[in-house]
Amino acid sequence: MTTLTDPPSESFRLSMLIYDTRYRAITFQIIALICFLLFFGWLISNTAQNLADLGKEPSFGFLMEPAGYDINQRLIDYNNQDSHLRAAFVGLLNTLLVAFLGCVTATVVGVIVGVLRLSNNWLISRLMAVYVEMFRNVPVLMWIVLCMAILIESLPAPRAFRGDDAEASMKLFDTVAITNRGVYIPEPLFSRSLGDIPVGNLFNISIDLIAILIVLAIGFYVSHRIKLKADATQEATGVRPRTWYMRLGVIFVPLAALLVILGFHLGYPELSGFNFSGGTHLRNSLIALWLALSLYTAAFIAENVRAGILAISKGQTEAASALGLRPSITMRLVILPQALRVIIPPLISQYLNLTKNSSLAIAVGYMDITGTLMGITLNQTGRELETVLLGMLIYLAISLAISAVMNFYNSRVKLVER
Amino acid sequence: MSDTHAETVSYVRETMLPQQEPPASTVGPLGWAKTNLFSGWFNTVLSVLSGLFILWLAYRLLPWIISPTWQATSLNECREIIGALNKPHGGACWGVISERWKQLMFGFYPPEHYWRPVLSLILLLVALGPLLFRHLVPAKVIYFSMLYPFIAAWLLWGGTIWNPIVAILGFVIIGLSLKFLTSVLNPALALIIGVVLAVIWWVALAGTVAGGLSAVLPIGIEAIASRQFGGFMLSITIGVTAILCSLPIGILLALGRQSDLLLVKAMCVGFIEFIRGVPLITLLFVASVLLNIFLPPGTNFDIILRVIIMVTLFASAYMAEVVRGGLAALPKGQYEGADSLGLDYWQSQRLIIMPQALKISIPGIVSTFIGVFKDTTLVSIISMFDPIGLSNAIRADTAWNGVYWELFIFIGLVFFIFCFSMSRYSMYLERRLQTGHR
């Protein structure tokens, strides 16, 4: 006689859906999915009902209609008879312009401030700490509005430049005019220009610019080859040949030759009537936004840089000096490459923040994608749903693109671990 | 060998010399200056340049700040006062601050009711006491903290007292059903039933009951409309609510993102990445123009509430990433240890994982808080009157057209005080919770 029986047969009971951990996960996920779909269905049906009540049909056809408004700061040709789509594209380019300028400036300022904050000079490190705390603890919108107010209120009007004993004068040997309507800087001109090539129907790209970029790229490539060759010679013989003049030469001599061939000269801004003409006009709104975003983000980048450098153990510095490396070389060859790994991930998010903060342009009237698509186009066409959703998608795409590029770079410099 | 050596030396000192003072150039203020300011030519140049910069700034700034214009009522009056003083670099026009500081603080809130926001701010500090300084404040105060949101909402918006009481009753329903149903049912099920009952109460019955009660017993204070809110009061209302709500939602999102449940994880990742990928201003556009389209026809709720909802969602996505960082930093042994003790998922999260993960992420959490508080200024773009929006309005006023430094110094200073004290508190908290033996 045996007291042992077979284990109870695995029959499925409904209560196992809740009490058995094997099934519970599935139950919960299905419930979550149903709730999610119900919620979305509810939102969509509400939206459809509301739009029907308002007599609006969701459609993106309005993008092809003439925009009817002007955009003063633009990178490509645009007039008020162009479509809303083209206006949005002008805005997108403006967003990218200020984001790019801002990221570059913020990185430069941020790295300098971050390194100086670690300086053993008491006064300098305190000054930098004051800068960082001042910018980090005050909203960026206030800095943008303040920069704009300073530019408008404190700079001389163009008419102050008039007359023989003018109140204001142009800076940098009469080449730059700083006025309360913006800054006029010399523009590059080519007397023997190669012309433009149209890209689709959207905009023209100057062949001169392409030629310059190609020459520069070739120059940098040859310069890099010379460096590799010098490295190889140093490996083989122990003596490093002097190459700096060759490396500078292959970059700058062809560039200078090309500029002469194209007939490069600068077009200076000149006072005509009550305003300046000629030269490139950087509007106040662009400068205020650029300045405020760069200085604000630089304060955050400075903290990231400082944290990155502090994260490198002191043993690295000591080992480098034991090898006889000078402090500057230690910084360049030992500390920074390691600190870079710590710095880059937060740097990516700072770039993303700057790009997203550039949407505050609307506060100073800089026509970025928020100002065109989600500002004037929204108000003129009354298409809230389409414009806001499209704007969000564009920002989402920009963010994802930036983080993809930077993550790729991050994976290149990342320490390969086990 | 030593003998011969001893003979060649004519004199051997037999007593120790007294210790000498260190050279004067290495101690005291002189030594400090030498090591910290003038070590090497480069540092010397930097020190001299920055010293000159500070002196120049003080020379220009101090006379500007000390300017007796507190009584002026317009910019022109300021200019007359400063012109009479014959200052070389002009002076500040503080009249704008003394005339408009109340507006910058309270917006268009009726002046006779200023005591209400002030009282709610004081009560906020009391309510935050047990959360921020746990070892200094009696534990009983926590009950007051739970009631505080209702008290504050009633004080700020006013109206009948029955509204907050009826709202509290909904939570009482949840509490009661948890208490009585857990003995017979699964706790999760009891919670769901409680929430369903409470929602039914809030949606279907609460309005009628509150209306009836206030008709019978009309106790209340004057109602204030949301569009009269403004200034720092508005910033603090939006900021504090979003901060307090975003932490729990952020924790749940972070847990969802770490979860093994694929669908839940996908939803959390999608939500977090979407919110983090778009600027807050687009979400505020959603709050101001789209939210009413998404909700059932005829719903039209308060603009401040809509903004708070969007800011909270925005903050919780960032909070989720901060908390996820803390969760990822926790050694795997902690999870396994919790499992081996036989704790279930929620118990191990509550007792083992979260206390440690949140402690690790304190700096990130607080900097998210600071970011949210600063971002409340963005509501000025959807034409609400936060301090920046008010500053634009004041600068458009003919009396103060052309004033900007004074206004922005004032606004910036107030923001600085709030944000800087938050960051100092986080440092204090980190030190207090420091359990490592370093």
Q: Do B412 and A384 touch (CB under 8 A)?
A: no
Asked if A15 has any chain B CB less than 8 Å from its own CB, the reply is no
Inter-chain contacts counted by CB atoms under 8 A, chains A and B: 154
Q: Do B281 and A120 touch (CB under 8 A)?
A: no
Separation CA B159–CA B156 (nearest Å) = 9
Asked if B186 has any chain A CB less than 8 Å from its own CB, the reply is yes
Name chain B contacts of A51, Cβ cutoff 8 Å: 293
CATH topology of domain A84-139+284-413: MetI-like fold (1.10.3720)
3-state class (DSSP) for residue A176: strand
Q: Do B415 and A374 touch (CB under 8 A)?
A: no
Give the model's confidence band at B234: pLDDT under 50 very low, under 70 low, under 90 confident, else very high: very high
Separation CA B22–CA A363 (nearest Å) = 61
Give the model's confidence band at B233: pLDDT under 50 very low, under 70 low, under 90 confident, else very high: very high
Asked if A124 has any chain B CB less than 8 Å from its own CB, the reply is yes
By C-alpha distance, the chain A residue nearest B235 is A139
- Where do the H-state alpha helices sit in A196-241? 207-237
Task: List, as ranges, residues 20-49 from B with C-beta within 8 Å of A.
Answer: 35-37, 39, 43, 46-47
Name chain B contacts of A50, Cβ cutoff 8 Å: 292-294, 297
pLDDT tens digits, residue range B10-68? 778 888 888 888 887 778 888 888 888 888 888 889 899 999 999 999 988 888 888 88
Separation CA B236–CA B230 (nearest Å) = 10
Asked if A310 has any chain B CB less than 8 Å from its own CB, the reply is no
Asked if B409 has any chain A CB less than 8 Å from its own CB, the reply is no
Domain ranges of chain A: 84-139+284-413, 201-262
pLDDT tens digits, residue range B104-139? 999 888 988 899 999 999 999 888 888 888 778 787
Provide the residue-wise pLDDT of chain A in tens; the chain has 418 residues: 455 555 555 677 777 776 777 777 788 888 888 988 999 999 889 888 888 888 877 788 888 888 888 888 777 878 878 888 888 888 999 999 999 999 999 999 999 999 889 888 888 999 999 999 999 999 999 999 999 999 888 888 877 777 666 667 777 677 788 888 888 888 878 777 777 777 766 677 778 888 889 999 999 999 999 989 998 998 898 888 888 888 888 888 888 888 888 888 777 877 777 777 777 888 889 999 999 999 999 999 999 999 998 888 889 989 999 999 988 888 888 888 888 888 888 888 899 999 999 999 988 888 889 988 888 888 888 888 889 999 999 999 999 898 888 778 878 776 665 4
Rounded CA Rg of chain B: 31
Name chain B contacts of A402, Cβ cutoff 8 Å: none
Q: Residue B220 phi/psi, 5° resolution? A: 170, 175
CB A378 within 8 A of CB A387: yes
| Interface ipTM > 0.90 | no
Task: List, as ranges, residues 261-280 from B with C-beta within 8 Å of A.
Answer: 261-264, 267, 274, 276-280
Asked if A180 has any chain B CB less than 8 Å from its own CB, the reply is no
By C-alpha distance, the chain A residue nearest B390 is A142
By C-alpha distance, the chain B residue nearest A363 is B381
